[in-house]
Chains A and B, each alone.
Chain A
């Protein structure tokens, strides 16, 4: 069965470090998304991609970057982790148009 997997599931790191969260999907979807979920804010869009070599900023993109070198993967990088980036991160993908997004299991990131 097609799926979307995120790794690691949990990570603890220190402020100032570079952190990369992985997202891999086998749906063969062109569109991929990164969200963060925080109490009191719900899910907010960080970055998204329409396809290979395409990336776009979402609502809360400051401090984050993504790259899309193939259809299956959209890694999310925190260049210099800050405590405000402690959150649960979800990756999602969709076939495009009005098709729904399917979510990975999430990464719980703690920055101390």
Chain B
């Protein structure tokens, strides 16, 4: 069975610092990796997608992927109180239309 592991937190980070969120996955054939942000009582919102080894940057967000280590991470620079949310790591197999496998999420708190 496919597994996606995340530290549940809470992860507390001072405002303006870098928040680092980590995720490991069990299935070596996984090809697509996504980070979603979910505020309490709201739906998941796509933050980043990454498909190749290395770093991908989008504004204050950087996703990092290492397929050999089966590891994906999300860095949030200049953290803001509005970044406080649960961050979900999601993994998808090669091709097909089957659904995503989600981690249970990391609760991030940005302290003003």
Interface residues of B in 93-111 (CB under 8 A from A): 95, 97-105
Q: How far is the CA of A106 from the CA of B95 in the complex (A)?
A: 26
Q: How far is the CA of A28 from the CA of B103 in the complex (A)?
A: 28
Whether A42 and B104, one on each chain, are in contact in the complex, defined by CB atoms closer than 8 angstroms, is yes
Question: How many of chain B's residues touch chain A, expressed as a range?
Answer: 20 to 34
Q: Which of B32, B43, B103, B104 contacts A98 (CB 8 A)?
A: B32
Residues of A within 8 A of B60 (CB): none
Question: How many of chain A's residues touch chain B, expressed as a range?
Answer: 20 to 34
Interface residues of B in 45-76 (CB under 8 A from A): 45-46, 49, 51
Among the 9-residue stretches A13-21, A29-37, A70-78, A79-87, the one with 4 or more Cβ atoms under 8 Å from chain B is A29-37
Q: How far is the CA of A101 from the CA of B102 in the complex (A)?
A: 12
Interface residues of B in 22-60 (CB under 8 A from A): 31-32, 34, 36, 42-46, 49, 51
Whether B97 and A96, one on each chain, are in contact in the complex, defined by CB atoms closer than 8 angstroms, is yes
Whether A103 and B104, one on each chain, are in contact in the complex, defined by CB atoms closer than 8 angstroms, is no
Report which A residues bind B (CB closer than 8 A).
30-31, 33, 35, 40-45, 48-50, 56, 58, 90, 92, 94, 96-98, 100-106
Whether A40 and B104, one on each chain, are in contact in the complex, defined by CB atoms closer than 8 angstroms, is yes
Whether A41 and B46, one on each chain, are in contact in the complex, defined by CB atoms closer than 8 angstroms, is no
Whether A58 and B99, one on each chain, are in contact in the complex, defined by CB atoms closer than 8 angstroms, is yes
Beyond A98-B32, A98-B92, whether A104 also contacts B43 by CB under 8 A is yes
Q: Which of B46, B97, B103 contacts A30 (CB 8 A)?
A: B97
Q: How far is the CA of A94 from the CA of B99 in the complex (A)?
A: 10
Q: How far is the CA of A66 from the CA of B71 in the complex (A)?
A: 34
Residues of B within 8 A of A43 (CB): 44, 88, 90, 100, 102
Residues of B within 8 A of A104 (CB): 43
Between A and B, 30 residue pairs with Cβ closer than 8 Å are A30-B97, A41-B104, A42-B88, A42-B102, A42-B103, A42-B104, A42-B105, A43-B44, A43-B100, A45-B98, A45-B100, A45-B101, A48-B97, A48-B99, A49-B97, A56-B98, A58-B99, A90-B43, A90-B44, A94-B97, A96-B97, A97-B95, A98-B32, A100-B34, A101-B46, A101-B99, A103-B43, A103-B45, A106-B42, A106-B43
